[in-house]
Structure 1
Amino acid sequence: MKPLNLFYAEPDPDRWIKFDRYPRRLIRRILRGKQRPGGVMMVALNLMKGLDKLGIPYRFNDYKYINKHPEEIAGIIGKPQLLFDKEWINPVILGAGIFSHPSDHPNLLTTHPNVKRILVPGDWMADMFKPFYGDMVTAWPTGIDTDKWQPLAGTKSIDFLIYDKVRWEHEQYQDGLVESIKEILNQHKLSHQTIRYGQYTYTDLKKNLSQSKAAIFLCEHETQGLAYQQILATNTPILAWEHGGYWQDPHYYPHKVKFQPVSAVPYWDKRCGLKFKGTLDFEKQLLQFVKLRDGFEPRKYIMENLTLRLCAQKYLDIYQQVQAELNG
């Protein structure tokens, strides 16, 4: 088959004068070292790793080729400035690195009629986008590198790793949720350690997981949730805060968008662990979780649903569906 055409770039606009992005990029590299891939970049990297495992050829950011072949599909993985900053003639599969809400671009399919699929990371986000874009929207998750994230050797002397990814109103939740959870754990003589989103390296996370029997995952909602899925891939079961309710992004809620329900663990089944709604039912779910802890099989769930190979195959299926439609 012909190679897939894939495109990804981080936003890096000029800030003060024309072309100043280039020296700023060099200075950032010198001061901060090599950039750590963010969530959307991982979508692109893991897709390419999965395609490598399948033996599927692809071109990456080959603008010279795509400009000469306007009939071929361009897979714009992210971020969406790639779509808006270039006049694409090619049919486009956009995502899963996409803007937060369709209200940002309600006329997308009018202004960019060559967009043939809009990929979002999970089902609840697809439900949020479909009223605007209809059947163009498809849920597609990126794969988890299960070679990198494997069961970890170590003395598991700590009962729980608390993964704190509370993003908004953190001070309020620190007292009302996080500290309450720690108090209950202490009352039951369950040891714990905490890792805060954005303040650790992968080495830190692996070290903490190697010491921990289970994890408690705290996040208002996730579009996919790479971090908790990496935890599951190490065969570490999770007690997850499933707050539910409305999408909480303060740029939109409640003045602009009210959408529900959302999920903190959108990819999940009973092998992964248990969920709790809040502090009122945490203790009950905790005691049930501790009883069942050794019977959970979270890695099996990941291996059956979210490997690099499986997710790359799903992307390839979407690509081929669009190609079949174009051939008509």
Structure 2
Amino acid sequence: MYHIKFNIRCSTEVVYYFFKIHTAIISKRIPLKYTMRFVQVGHSHKMNEEAFIRGCILFGIEYEKVDTVSDISGQPDLIWAPGFWIDPTLFPNTKFMFGPQFFVFPTKDGSLAIYKKGSVADRCLYNCLSEWNLCIHSAFLSNPVVPYACLPFGVDTESMKPNPKVQKKEYILIYWKLRDSANMQHVVDILIKNKLLFKVVKYGFYKSDEYHKLLLESKLCIWLGRHESQGFAFQEALSYNVPLLVYDVLDMKEEVNDYNISAYASYHSISLSATSAAFWDPICGEKTTNPKDIDPLLKKMMAGLDKYRPREFVERELSDKVCFKRMLDRFGLLS
């Protein structure tokens, strides 16, 4: 007998996703015994939300999503508030994970700076996702009322994996997201010079299933992206075991719009150190910020693609189980 309780108020798409996961678990005949209750208040990035749900299911935790604080009943074991502050004293027995969508940069007059009702740092944190983003947050607000933490959301390695029945194509994939067109032209010129076929995936102009199909077929991807605090599309490529040649950024100001105007031009006087590869290991591929390195690194990778094993890194550091356990450990919620 399997008891499933759905306490979820969100989009039809996420509801369908929730039922789909539960159906898969029941088909494997895994008993669901809720040990804790986690409540999400408000909306988050779709991929964050789906990963959080998968984690709850993996660890037998009841998941509920509500719109407002007044919708929360009782004292949940954990409240996740992705986009706004909740007074922790309203739930004295509850752990809180805030973020990662409060702001781009914290301010000295924001909720993480002005809360004055006593210390709640022992049971609350703000999730910055990755180390470089934590450093940026600390530069803008060095003493938040709750500590910063790096707790990336899990990658669905069960559905995003190589298929040995799919033959790799000869083309190289280029992923282009909000980087100067001159950078893109540089990459294209190198591929043409080396007589290499390529396909381009441009951010905002593709569907997820199309991208995943290309990853299944691709033997190599050149990554030309802006900064990423986590970077799901980046990590999906790694999960499909596609080695990446990352033409990395040094600063958030390298993100541009369609007119090659920097999205952070107003911060021209300060450093906003960043990276496209928030989580990385040399087994994932090669990485550089120097355009002169692209050609020799491409040749190096093409001559030895078999030595790269990006999926191993994702399974070790970014799978659903690993990421959710990391969060539970951080809150001391694993017995």
- 2:285 pairs, out of 273, 289, 296, with 273
SS of the aligned residue for 1:100 comes to coil
Aligned ranges for residues 271-310 of structure 1 at < 5 Å?
271-310=283-322
On the 8 A contact 2:227/2:274 being kept in 1, the answer is yes
- 1:204 pairs, out of 210, 225, 234, with 210
Structure 2: distance between partners of 1:191 and 1:88: 59
Structure 2: distance between partners of 1:73 and 1:256: 39
Q: Comparing both chains, which one has the higher relative contact order based on Cα–Cα distances under 8 Å and sequence gaps of 6 or more?
A: 1
On the 8 A contact 2:37/2:63 being kept in 1, the answer is yes
Structure 2: 5+ residue runs without aligned partners?
1-33, 256-261
Q: TM-score scaled to structure 1, two decimals?
A: 0.76
On the 8 A contact 2:38/2:62 being kept in 1, the answer is no
Aligned ranges for residues 221-232 of structure 1 at < 5 Å?
221-232=227-238
Q: TM-score scaled to structure 2, two decimals?
A: 0.75
On the 8 A contact 2:41/2:79 being kept in 1, the answer is no
Corresponding letter in the other structure for 1:48: I
Structure 2: distance between partners of 1:205 and 1:120: 27
Q: 1:144 — aligned with what?
A: 155
- Residues 203 and 41 of structure 1: is their aligned pair in 2 closer, same or farther, counting only changes over 3 Å? closer
SS of the aligned residue for 2:199 comes to strand
Aligned ranges for residues 1-328 of structure 1 at < 5 Å?
3-10=36-43, 40-61=45-66, 66-69=72-75, 73-76=78-81, 78=82, 80-81=83-84, 83=85, 89-90=90-91, 92-103=96-107, 105-106=109-110, 108-111=112-115, 116-131=124-139, 132=141, 133=143, 136-152=147-163, 153-165=165-177, 167=178, 170=179, 173-174=180-181, 176-248=182-254, 252-255=264-267, 258-320=270-332
Provide, for residues 112-152 of structure 1, a one-character-per-residue CA deviation record: whole Å limited to 9, x for no partner.
Answer: 75572111110001111234145700011000000110003
Structure 1: 5+ residue runs without aligned partners?
11-38
Identity of aligned residues (%): 21
CA displacement at 1:303 relative to structure 2:
0.5
Q: 1:28 — aligned with what?
A: none
On the 8 A contact 1:233/1:298 being kept in 2, the answer is yes
On the 8 A contact 1:6/1:75 being kept in 2, the answer is yes
Q: 2:14 — aligned with what?
A: none
On the 8 A contact 1:43/1:96 being kept in 2, the answer is no
Structure 2: distance between partners of 1:248 and 1:103: 22
The range that moved more, 92-101 or 199-208, is 92-101
Structure 2: distance between partners of 1:136 and 1:308: 23
Structure 1: distance between partners of 2:273 and 2:160: 30
On the 8 A contact 2:38/2:79 being kept in 1, the answer is yes
CA RMSD of aligned residues (A): 3.0
On the 8 A contact 2:251/2:272 being kept in 1, the answer is yes
When you count helix as a share of all residues, which structure comes out higher?
Answer: 1
Structure 1: distance between partners of 2:278 and 2:206: 23
SS of the aligned residue for 1:193 comes to strand
